[in-house]
Amino acid sequence: VRMRSRIPVILLACGSFNPTTNMHMRLFELARDHLHHTGQYQVIEGIMSPVSDHYGKKGLVSARHRVAMAKLALETSDWIRVDPWESEQDTWTETVKVLRHHYNEALRAFQSKKEFMRNKHPTESSAEDSFSCQHPVLPELKLLCGADFLQTFKTPNLWKEEDIKEIVEKFGLVCISRAGSDPSQLIQESDLLSKFQHNIFLVREWIQNEISATQIRSALCRGLSVKYLIPDSVIAYIAQHSVYNEGHLLQPLRLQNTTIN
Protein backbone atom coordinates (compact mmCIF):
# COMPACT_ATOMS: atom_id res chain seq x y z
CA VAL A 1 0.00 0.00 0.00
CA ARG A 2 2.83 2.36 0.90
CA MET A 3 4.41 1.86 -2.56
CA ARG A 4 1.08 2.72 -4.23
CA SER A 5 1.20 6.34 -3.12
CA ARG A 6 4.69 6.81 -4.55
CA ILE A 7 5.60 8.41 -7.88
CA PRO A 8 6.40 5.75 -10.47
CA VAL A 9 9.81 6.26 -12.06
CA ILE A 10 11.48 4.84 -15.16
CA LEU A 11 15.29 4.99 -15.25
CA LEU A 12 16.92 5.48 -18.64
CA ALA A 13 20.64 5.00 -19.27
CA CYS A 14 22.14 6.04 -22.62
CA GLY A 15 25.60 4.90 -23.66
CA SER A 16 27.76 2.77 -25.91
CA PHE A 17 27.41 -0.43 -23.82
CA ASN A 18 30.40 -1.74 -25.72
CA PRO A 19 30.04 -4.33 -24.13
CA THR A 20 27.52 -4.27 -21.26
CA THR A 21 29.46 -4.81 -18.01
CA ASN A 22 28.37 -5.80 -14.51
CA MET A 23 29.03 -2.17 -13.57
CA HIS A 24 26.46 -0.87 -16.06
CA MET A 25 23.86 -3.07 -14.39
CA ARG A 26 24.99 -2.11 -10.88
CA LEU A 27 24.26 1.57 -11.67
CA PHE A 28 20.58 0.68 -12.10
CA GLU A 29 20.49 -1.23 -8.81
CA LEU A 30 22.18 1.61 -6.90
CA ALA A 31 19.82 4.19 -8.39
CA ARG A 32 16.71 2.13 -7.60
CA ASP A 33 17.76 1.59 -3.97
CA HIS A 34 18.44 5.31 -3.55
CA LEU A 35 15.11 6.43 -5.02
CA HIS A 36 13.18 3.87 -2.95
CA HIS A 37 14.90 5.10 0.20
CA THR A 38 13.67 8.65 -0.40
CA GLY A 39 10.17 7.32 0.35
CA GLN A 40 8.81 9.29 -2.63
CA TYR A 41 9.42 7.05 -5.61
CA GLN A 42 8.81 3.55 -6.88
CA VAL A 43 11.08 2.50 -9.73
CA ILE A 44 8.93 0.53 -12.16
CA GLU A 45 11.39 -0.02 -15.01
CA GLY A 46 14.97 0.42 -16.16
CA ILE A 47 15.85 1.00 -19.81
CA MET A 48 19.29 0.58 -21.34
CA SER A 49 19.55 2.50 -24.62
CA PRO A 50 22.65 1.73 -26.70
CA VAL A 51 23.83 4.54 -28.99
CA SER A 52 23.59 4.10 -32.78
CA ASP A 53 26.57 3.29 -34.99
CA HIS A 54 26.55 6.92 -36.16
CA TYR A 55 27.94 8.12 -32.84
CA GLY A 56 31.40 7.82 -34.39
CA LYS A 57 33.29 6.62 -31.34
CA LYS A 58 36.53 4.76 -31.98
CA GLY A 59 36.20 1.01 -31.38
CA LEU A 60 32.39 1.08 -31.36
CA VAL A 61 31.18 -2.32 -32.58
CA SER A 62 27.93 -2.59 -34.50
CA ALA A 63 24.69 -1.83 -32.65
CA ARG A 64 23.43 -5.29 -33.61
CA HIS A 65 26.13 -6.83 -31.39
CA ARG A 66 25.78 -4.27 -28.60
CA VAL A 67 22.01 -4.74 -28.36
CA ALA A 68 22.38 -8.55 -28.45
CA MET A 69 25.01 -8.45 -25.67
CA ALA A 70 22.84 -6.14 -23.54
CA LYS A 71 19.86 -8.49 -23.98
CA LEU A 72 21.94 -11.44 -22.82
CA ALA A 73 23.33 -9.47 -19.87
CA LEU A 74 19.83 -8.40 -18.77
CA GLU A 75 18.27 -11.87 -18.94
CA THR A 76 18.88 -12.11 -15.19
CA SER A 77 17.06 -8.83 -14.43
CA ASP A 78 13.32 -8.73 -13.82
CA TRP A 79 13.04 -4.94 -14.24
CA ILE A 80 15.75 -3.68 -16.63
CA ARG A 81 15.43 -4.13 -20.40
CA VAL A 82 17.39 -3.03 -23.44
CA ASP A 83 15.55 -0.83 -25.94
CA PRO A 84 16.93 -0.77 -29.49
CA TRP A 85 15.10 2.41 -30.64
CA GLU A 86 18.07 4.77 -30.32
CA SER A 87 20.46 2.25 -31.85
CA GLU A 88 18.21 1.88 -34.90
CA GLN A 89 18.14 5.58 -35.81
CA ASP A 90 20.00 6.44 -39.00
CA THR A 91 21.67 9.47 -37.42
CA TRP A 92 23.15 10.07 -34.01
CA THR A 93 20.33 11.11 -31.66
CA GLU A 94 20.73 13.77 -28.94
CA THR A 95 20.11 12.47 -25.42
CA VAL A 96 17.21 14.87 -24.91
CA LYS A 97 15.42 13.38 -27.97
CA VAL A 98 15.92 9.86 -26.60
CA LEU A 99 14.38 11.00 -23.30
CA ARG A 100 11.41 12.58 -25.12
CA HIS A 101 10.83 9.39 -27.12
CA HIS A 102 10.80 7.15 -24.03
CA TYR A 103 8.68 9.60 -22.05
CA ASN A 104 6.07 9.61 -24.83
CA GLU A 105 6.15 5.81 -24.93
CA ALA A 106 5.60 5.70 -21.16
CA LEU A 107 2.65 8.12 -21.43
CA ARG A 108 1.12 6.02 -24.20
CA ALA A 109 1.42 2.87 -22.08
CA PHE A 110 -0.06 4.75 -19.11
CA GLN A 111 -3.06 5.95 -21.14
CA SER A 112 -3.83 2.51 -22.57
CA LYS A 113 -3.60 0.99 -19.08
CA LYS A 114 -6.11 3.57 -17.85
CA GLU A 115 -8.42 2.76 -20.78
CA PHE A 116 -8.12 -0.93 -20.01
CA MET A 117 -9.06 -0.35 -16.34
CA ARG A 118 -12.06 1.74 -17.39
CA ASN A 119 -13.32 -0.88 -19.86
CA LYS A 120 -12.80 -3.72 -17.40
CA HIS A 121 -15.32 -2.24 -14.94
CA PRO A 122 -17.44 0.19 -16.99
CA THR A 123 -20.30 0.33 -14.48
CA GLU A 124 -19.33 -1.13 -11.14
CA SER A 125 -15.66 -0.34 -10.90
CA SER A 126 -14.12 -0.97 -7.53
CA ALA A 127 -13.31 2.02 -5.33
CA GLU A 128 -9.64 1.41 -5.97
CA ASP A 129 -10.02 1.52 -9.78
CA SER A 130 -12.11 4.67 -9.78
CA PHE A 131 -9.62 6.25 -7.42
CA SER A 132 -6.73 5.42 -9.76
CA CYS A 133 -8.65 6.96 -12.68
CA GLN A 134 -9.44 10.14 -10.76
CA HIS A 135 -5.91 10.54 -9.42
CA PRO A 136 -3.61 9.17 -12.08
CA VAL A 137 0.02 9.31 -11.09
CA LEU A 138 1.97 9.95 -14.27
CA PRO A 139 5.27 8.10 -14.43
CA GLU A 140 8.44 10.16 -14.36
CA LEU A 141 11.45 9.39 -16.53
CA LYS A 142 14.91 10.11 -15.15
CA LEU A 143 18.26 9.92 -16.88
CA LEU A 144 20.67 7.59 -15.12
CA CYS A 145 24.33 8.49 -15.48
CA GLY A 146 27.76 8.38 -13.89
CA ALA A 147 29.46 11.42 -12.40
CA ASP A 148 31.67 11.70 -15.49
CA PHE A 149 28.51 12.42 -17.52
CA LEU A 150 27.80 15.55 -15.46
CA GLN A 151 31.34 16.67 -16.20
CA THR A 152 30.56 16.68 -19.95
CA PHE A 153 28.02 19.48 -19.41
CA LYS A 154 31.04 21.76 -18.92
CA THR A 155 32.69 20.83 -22.25
CA PRO A 156 32.29 23.82 -24.59
CA ASN A 157 29.94 23.24 -27.58
CA LEU A 158 29.20 19.64 -26.59
CA TRP A 159 25.74 20.40 -25.21
CA LYS A 160 23.07 22.95 -26.14
CA GLU A 161 22.15 24.99 -23.07
CA GLU A 162 18.43 24.44 -23.72
CA ASP A 163 18.94 20.66 -23.88
CA ILE A 164 20.66 20.61 -20.47
CA LYS A 165 17.83 22.74 -19.11
CA GLU A 166 15.16 20.38 -20.48
CA ILE A 167 16.97 17.32 -19.13
CA VAL A 168 17.31 18.65 -15.57
CA GLU A 169 14.03 20.59 -15.42
CA LYS A 170 11.57 18.27 -17.18
CA PHE A 171 13.12 14.86 -16.55
CA GLY A 172 15.77 14.87 -13.84
CA LEU A 173 19.07 13.09 -13.32
CA VAL A 174 20.15 10.24 -11.11
CA CYS A 175 23.91 10.49 -10.92
CA ILE A 176 26.09 7.73 -9.46
CA SER A 177 29.31 9.18 -8.11
CA ARG A 178 32.53 7.23 -7.87
CA ALA A 179 35.27 7.77 -5.32
CA GLY A 180 37.36 10.79 -6.22
CA SER A 181 34.62 12.64 -8.11
CA ASP A 182 32.56 15.40 -6.55
CA PRO A 183 29.43 16.07 -8.60
CA SER A 184 27.97 18.34 -5.90
CA GLN A 185 30.75 20.84 -6.58
CA LEU A 186 30.00 20.68 -10.31
CA ILE A 187 26.36 21.46 -9.55
CA GLN A 188 27.26 24.44 -7.35
CA GLU A 189 29.54 25.85 -10.06
CA SER A 190 26.72 25.85 -12.62
CA ASP A 191 23.82 28.33 -12.30
CA LEU A 192 21.59 26.07 -14.36
CA LEU A 193 22.34 22.85 -12.45
CA SER A 194 22.08 24.49 -9.03
CA LYS A 195 18.71 26.01 -9.99
CA PHE A 196 17.33 22.51 -10.62
CA GLN A 197 19.37 20.60 -8.06
CA HIS A 198 16.15 19.37 -6.42
CA ASN A 199 15.80 17.26 -9.58
CA ILE A 200 19.34 15.86 -9.49
CA PHE A 201 19.80 12.83 -7.27
CA LEU A 202 23.37 12.11 -6.24
CA VAL A 203 23.99 8.50 -5.31
CA ARG A 204 27.18 7.42 -3.59
CA GLU A 205 28.58 4.20 -4.92
CA TRP A 206 29.15 2.25 -1.71
CA ILE A 207 31.44 -0.35 -3.23
CA GLN A 208 34.29 0.86 -5.39
CA ASN A 209 33.83 -0.61 -8.81
CA GLU A 210 36.05 0.69 -11.55
CA ILE A 211 35.11 -1.76 -14.30
CA SER A 212 35.21 0.09 -17.60
CA ALA A 213 34.14 -1.21 -21.00
CA THR A 214 37.33 0.27 -22.47
CA GLN A 215 39.50 -1.85 -20.17
CA ILE A 216 37.38 -4.90 -20.95
CA ARG A 217 37.86 -4.43 -24.70
CA SER A 218 41.59 -4.03 -24.26
CA ALA A 219 41.78 -7.16 -22.06
CA LEU A 220 39.82 -9.13 -24.68
CA CYS A 221 42.18 -7.99 -27.43
CA ARG A 222 45.15 -9.13 -25.34
CA GLY A 223 43.53 -12.47 -24.64
CA LEU A 224 43.06 -11.89 -20.90
CA SER A 225 40.18 -13.33 -18.90
CA VAL A 226 37.22 -11.02 -18.25
CA LYS A 227 35.18 -13.57 -16.31
CA TYR A 228 33.20 -12.04 -13.37
CA LEU A 229 33.53 -8.57 -14.93
CA ILE A 230 30.89 -9.15 -17.59
CA PRO A 231 28.21 -11.88 -17.63
CA ASP A 232 29.20 -15.34 -18.90
CA SER A 233 26.50 -15.13 -21.58
CA VAL A 234 28.17 -11.98 -22.97
CA ILE A 235 31.63 -13.61 -22.88
CA ALA A 236 30.20 -16.55 -24.86
CA TYR A 237 28.60 -14.20 -27.39
CA ILE A 238 31.84 -12.23 -27.89
CA ALA A 239 33.72 -15.47 -28.48
CA GLN A 240 31.10 -16.90 -30.81
CA HIS A 241 30.91 -13.77 -32.98
CA SER A 242 34.59 -12.67 -32.66
CA VAL A 243 33.23 -9.27 -31.67
CA TYR A 244 36.39 -7.54 -30.47
CA ASN A 245 39.12 -9.14 -32.51
CA GLU A 246 38.45 -8.54 -36.19
CA GLY A 247 37.64 -12.01 -37.36
CA HIS A 248 40.16 -14.18 -35.55
CA LEU A 249 39.39 -15.78 -32.23
CA LEU A 250 42.06 -15.52 -29.58
CA GLN A 251 43.04 -18.81 -28.00
CA PRO A 252 42.07 -17.95 -24.37
CA LEU A 253 38.64 -16.86 -25.57
CA ARG A 254 38.23 -20.05 -27.57
CA LEU A 255 39.12 -22.06 -24.46
CA GLN A 256 36.84 -19.97 -22.26
CA ASN A 257 33.96 -20.39 -24.67
CA THR A 258 34.23 -24.16 -24.69
CA THR A 259 34.07 -24.22 -20.88
CA ILE A 260 30.95 -22.02 -20.81
CA ASN A 261 28.87 -23.94 -23.33
Topology classification of domain 7-111+136-211: Rossmann fold (3.40.50)
Helix axes 232-241, 63-73, angle to 10 degrees: 150
What was the pLDDT predicted at 181?
Answer: 76
What was the pLDDT predicted at 248?
Answer: 46
Report whether pLDDT(1) > 50: no
Short-list 126, 124, 113, 32, CA closest to 79: 32
| Summary mean pLDDT of the chain | 88
- Tell me the pLDDT tens digit for each residue of 227-237: 999 999 999 99
- Tell me the pLDDT tens digit for each residue of 171-193: 999 999 877 778 899 999 999 99
Q: Which residue has the higher pLDDT, 56 or 123?
A: 56
**Average of pLDDT values for 48-66?**
94
Short-list 34, 2, 67, 23, CA closest to 142: 34
CB-CB contact of 78 with 41 (8 Å): no
Amino acid at 40: Q
For residue 122, say if its preceding peptide bond is cis, omega within 30 degrees of 0.
no
Q: H or E element: which one contains 80?
A: strand 80-82
In this prediction the pTM is 0.87
Backbone torsion region of residue 56, taken as left when φ is above 0, otherwise alpha when ψ lies between -120 and 50, otherwise beta: left
- Do the bridges between strand 41-50 and strand 200-204 make them parallel or antiparallel, or are there none, so unpaired? unpaired
- For 70, phi then psi, to 5°, come to -65, -40
CB atoms under 10 Å from CB of 219, counted, come to 15
Question: Judging by beta carbons within 10 Å of its beta carbon (0-12, 13-18, 19+), is residue 158 exposed, middle or buried?
Answer: exposed
pLDDT band at 249 (very low <50, low <70, confident <90, very high): very low
Question: Residues of the chain with pLDDT > 90: what percent?
Answer: 68
pLDDT band at 130 (very low <50, low <70, confident <90, very high): very low
What was the pLDDT predicted at 188?
Answer: 93
